[in-house]
Structure 1
Amino acid sequence: MRSVARPTPHPPGEVLRVATYNIHKGVRGLGPAKRLEIHNLQMGVEALDADLVCLQEVRLFHHREAAYFDRTWFGWPEKGQAEFLAPEGYEVAYRTNAITKFGEHGNALLSRWPMGDIGHHDVSDHSLEQRGLLHVPVHWHGTVVHVVVAHFGLIHSSRMRQVDRLAAFVRDNVPEGAPFLVAGDYNDWGERLDTPMRAHGLRRATAPHGRARAPTFPSRLPVFALDRVYMRGLRCTGVQVPRGPSWARMSDHLPLVVELALE
């Protein structure tokens, strides 16, 4: 798979290239049509050529799926999905959000740049949805950029409370004035989170002279902009959503790629 072209002409290193991608646990389809996509996703993640890859619905292990796909040609990876997906030379951070009968899943960050201490904060709003924030300081060109990977709930009122919990976490754990971004799947079908995010000093990464919306879901015919990056102390210089048959089959979401520069 070819590398995804850069949306702006900046040479590598002048901007921080950030991708966010819900990988749907590396599996697509149901019943006899169920297929393992984690090997294709490995090539897809590398093709993004991002400095930071923020992933949601990532498995460390799952006993039933591992047994089911053991008879397929490539089979279930022996290592956790975050480590399996990381291109050569990238550092990996992973923390579990949800524990299920046969395994678990959570958020991950793959970074081309050195990482600091990895943190995790539970923002679950009720017992039926286990949600968390993965927090990692990243050392980029002498600057520490604080990165949070998030996956918000399915109910709007839950998401609103999770915005408030995110803001409280940032106040308590991110130095005032430090560059900060939170990337992930917000499940915000009606696009109602921009206003409360702005109230907490976070603005959405949008192309400087393009459309604000960048639909990523569903991957075959994207209509909803569920996947986003919010930020402070950074400005967005470009936005891109890779499309095509290969991307459409790997997950029910498309990846979102943004390029950021320090303000």
Structure 2
Amino acid sequence: MTPPDASHGRGRRPAGHAPATRLSELRGRHGLSVLPSVPPLPPPGPDEITVASYNVHKCVGTDRRFDPGRIAQVIAEIQPDILAVQEADRRFGRRIGLLDTQALQQSGLSLVPVSRLPDGHGWHGNALLVRRGTPLEVQRLALPGAEPRGAVLTEIELPAGKLRIVAAHFGLLRRCRLRQAATILEAIARGTSMPTLMLGDLNEWRPGPRSSLRPLESLFGSVAFGPASFPSRMPVFALDRIFGWPRGVVRDVQAHNSSLARIASDHLPLKARLSLAAAHAAPSGEVAAAA
């Protein structure tokens, strides 16, 4: 995306165009509402965990430098208990993993065994890391579309109970994203009823009726609003999302907009709070009905 002040020479900004003003103008051009200010996340409550999603752009930053250690530093800033990573592997040739797993382990995070390769990290680039918990089942979903895309569906036993996690990276075409959302809902409906977390780069910036994420509302509720996460230097579009079922168990969703995160990838990470106690207090059997 060309910066709006590129025509003014040497990056000089016209008078009165502060970054916040320019962001508002960019969102207005694309029919997006002005984002409200979001306070920093409060410390987690006793029954809450931090969840996050991060498209790491194959560990290549906006300075075009490949630096997995820098990605690990951004993740350490967030201190997530559950983390979904997109573009964690090479896309072409042998799909070896690109993450600095040693640095991530030092942050207390371990890879869920998703890849079918001994040196891979994800499935179609989707990797999943957890701080604690025991994976009970891992499904690798091939998502329909014009380009190879996938999702990982994992059931995990946490100290507070079972949790289903869906980590996904949707395609670039709206018609493909609609089919991919339907595939995700069908996979969830085939499983038993349990709290469900969905997170990833869903590649949809349109709010309202044109959104390809509308099918997901039958389970997760409104998908109209999301924090802007792309491009990382001046986030305008809400491409990355975190949803939860039962509704209301995920709160305080926001972009992690640190100085390092603005350079490490072309996406900002998203982070949120997940209340497992609230999730397990919900009535059973609603997942199948909602899907």
Q: Same fold (TM over 0.5)?
A: yes
Which secondary structure does the structure 2 equivalent of 1:218 belong to? coil
> 2:170 matched to which residue of 1?
152
Q: Give the whole-Å Cα distance in 2 for the aligned partners of 1:119 and 1:137.
A: 9
The answer to whether the aligner puts 1:252 opposite 2:271 as a matched pair is no
> 2:236 matched to which residue of 1?
223
**1:152–1:185 contact (8 Å) kept in structure 2:** yes
The answer to whether the aligner puts 1:115 opposite 2:156 as a matched pair is no
Q: Give the whole-Å Cα distance in 1 for the aligned partners of 2:76 and 2:222.
A: 25
Q: Deviations over 1:15-72 (max 9, x none)?
A: 121000000001136xxx63112111111111111110110000169789x9xxxxxx
> Pairwise mapping of residues 143-222 of structure 1 onto structure 2 (< 5 A)?
143-172=161-190, 174-176=191-193, 178-191=194-207, 192-199=211-218, 201-203=219-221, 212-222=225-235
> Pairwise mapping of residues 231-250 of structure 1 onto structure 2 (< 5 A)?
231-233=244-246, 235-250=249-264
> 1:7 matched to which residue of 2?
41
> 1:28 matched to which residue of 2?
61
Q: Structure 2 unaligned segments of length 5 or more: list them.
A: 1-38, 117-122, 280-291
**2:200–2:240 contact (8 Å) kept in structure 1:** yes
Q: Give the whole-Å Cα distance in 1 for the aligned partners of 2:249 and 2:73.
A: 29
> 1:134 matched to which residue of 2?
152
Q: Deviations over 1:132-152 (max 9, x none)?
A: 111222222241100010000
Q: Which protein shows a greater Rg?
A: 2
How far apart are residue 243 of structure 1 and its match? 1.3
**Where in structure 1 do 4 or more consecutive aligned residues deviate above 4 Å?**
60-64
Identity of aligned residues (%): 27
Q: Give the whole-Å Cα distance in 2 for the aligned partners of 1:158 and 1:246.
A: 33
How far apart are residue 205 of structure 1 and its match? 8.0
Normalised by the length of structure 1, the TM-score is 0.76
Query: Which residue identity lines up with residue 232 of structure 1 in the other structure?
Result: W
Query: Which residue identity lines up with residue 159 of structure 1 in the other structure?
Result: R
How far apart are residue 231 of structure 1 and its match? 1.7
Q: 1:135 to 1:36 in 2, by over 3 A?
A: same
Q: Structure 1 unaligned segments of length 5 or more: list them.
A: 67-78, 98-103, 207-211
> 1:42 matched to which residue of 2?
72
Which secondary structure does the structure 2 equivalent of 1:19 belong to? strand
Q: Deviations over 1:120-164 (max 9, x none)?
A: 1101312xx111111222222241100010000000010001011
Structure with higher strand content = 1
* TM-align CA RMSD: 2.9
**1:26–1:41 contact (8 Å) kept in structure 2:** yes
Q: 1:194 to 1:203 in 2, by over 3 A?
A: farther
